[in-house]
């Protein structure tokens, strides 16, 4: 069965600084990978997704993520963080060839942005 | 195009009461899901449906029931509320299954006292 680990529960960065949120997955074949963002009191919104092809994917709000098969990772990055990026971020994995029909989510990383 | 809508936004229940959380999507998606979100625990899948008339259990189905009589609606029923069901509940939908983008509703915050 697939699983997702987000090692960092809480990260604080200064506004304008770069950001990297870590995500490691466990799955035997090529996974379908997603990053979602949840602003306080809101539902989850898709930031970006990886299915195949170029391992560096671009998303909304200036975010990007890189799929590294050798490290089983799909880390999220942003070159310069804005105060509005403060939110909780979830990595998720889907799989086509298993009986599971839903995504498996990590436990999330809460991002705090300091002025 | 409203996407995924959920009602109510907030609810307080007493132990043993019942209630139904409503979820509607207007994107003609085949797949619909119910998740619960507990602090620090991410999202856990309660039930999902692959189409009208077809539902299946997720990771944490105990204490809940679902039905899917139409493509648009996927209500979640709590029969005998317990404090352990205090959580935030999210409904989601997708066109395909676990390889497709899921669209989430705004959530229902439920407290059982």
pLDDT tens digits for range A10-44: 999 999 999 999 999 988 677 899 999 999 888 89
Nearest CA in chain A to B56: A101
Which residue does chain A place closest to B34, by CA atoms?
Answer: A102
DSSP state of A30: P
The alpha carbon dihedral of A51, A54, A55, A59 has a sign of: negative
Parallel, antiparallel, or unpaired for β B10-13 and B19-25?
unpaired
**B43 close contact with A: CB closer than 8 A:** yes
Per-residue pLDDT tens for A36-47?
A: 999 988 889 999
In percent, how much of chain A has pLDDT > 90? 72
Which pLDDT value is given to residue A35? 97
Please count the other Cβ atoms lying within 10 Å of the Cβ belonging to residue B46.
Answer: 24
Residues B103-109, mean pLDDT to the nearest whole number = 94
Provide the terminal-to-terminal Cα distance of chain A, rounded to the nearest Å: 41
Q: Do A43 and B58 touch (CB under 8 A)?
A: no
Structure tokens at A94: 């889907």
Q: pLDDT at position B106, please? A: 93
A60: three-class secondary structure by DSSP: helix
pLDDT band at B91 (very low <50, low <70, confident <90, very high): very high
**Measured distance CA(A4)–CA(B79) in Å, rounded:** 32
Site of tokens 């620090």:
B40
Nearest to A106 among B35, B42, B50 (CB): B42
Phi, psi of B31 (to 5 degrees): -95, 135
List the single residue in B35, B98, B100 with the smallest CB-CB distance to A100: B98
The pLDDT of residue B54 is 93
Phi/psi of residue A84, nearest 5 degrees: -75, -5
> How far apart are the CA of B83 and the nearest CA of chain A, in angstroms?
21
Cα–Cα separations (whole angstroms), residue A101 to A89, B30, B89:
22, 12, 19
Min Cα distance B53 → chain A (Å) is 16
pLDDT tens digits, one per residue of A59-77: 999 999 999 999 999 999 9
Beta strands per DSSP E along B1-113: 4-7, 10-13, 19-25, 31-37, 43-51, 54-57, 64-66, 76-78, 87-94, 103-104, 108-112
Instruction: Measure the CA–CA gap between B78 and B82, rounded to whole angstroms.
Output: 9
What mean pLDDT comes out for the span B14-18? Answer: 97
């Amino acid at each position: 069965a697939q699983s997702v680990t987000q090692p960092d529960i809480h990260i604080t960065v200064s506004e304008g600084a770069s950001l990297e949120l870590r995500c490691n997955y466990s799955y035997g074949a090529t996974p379908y990978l997603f990053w979602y963002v949840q602003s306080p009191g809101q539902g989850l919104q898709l930031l970006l997704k990886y299915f195949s092809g170029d391992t560096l994917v671009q998303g909304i709000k200036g975010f990007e993520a890189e799929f590294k098969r050798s490290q089983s990772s799909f880390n999220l990055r942003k070159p310069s963080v804005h105060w509005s990026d403060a939110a909780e971020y979830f990595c998720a994995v889907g799989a086509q060839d298993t009986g599971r029909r839903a995504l498996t989510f990590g436990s999330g990383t809460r991002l705090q942005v300091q002025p | 195009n409203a996407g995924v809508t959920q009602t109510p936004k907030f609810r307080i229940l007493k132990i043993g009461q019942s209630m139904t959380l409503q979820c509607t999507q207007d994107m003609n998606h085949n797949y619909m899901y119910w998740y619960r979100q507990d602090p620090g625990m991410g999202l856990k899948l309660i039930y999902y449906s692959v189409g009208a008339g077809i539902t299946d259990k997720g990771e944490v189905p105990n204490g809940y029931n679902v039905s899917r009589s139409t493509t648009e609606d996927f209500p979640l029923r709590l029969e005998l509320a317990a404090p352990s069901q205090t959580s935030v509940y999210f409904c989601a939908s997708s066109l395909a299954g676990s390889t497709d983008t899921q669209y989430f509703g705004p959530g229902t915050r439920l407290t059982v006292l």
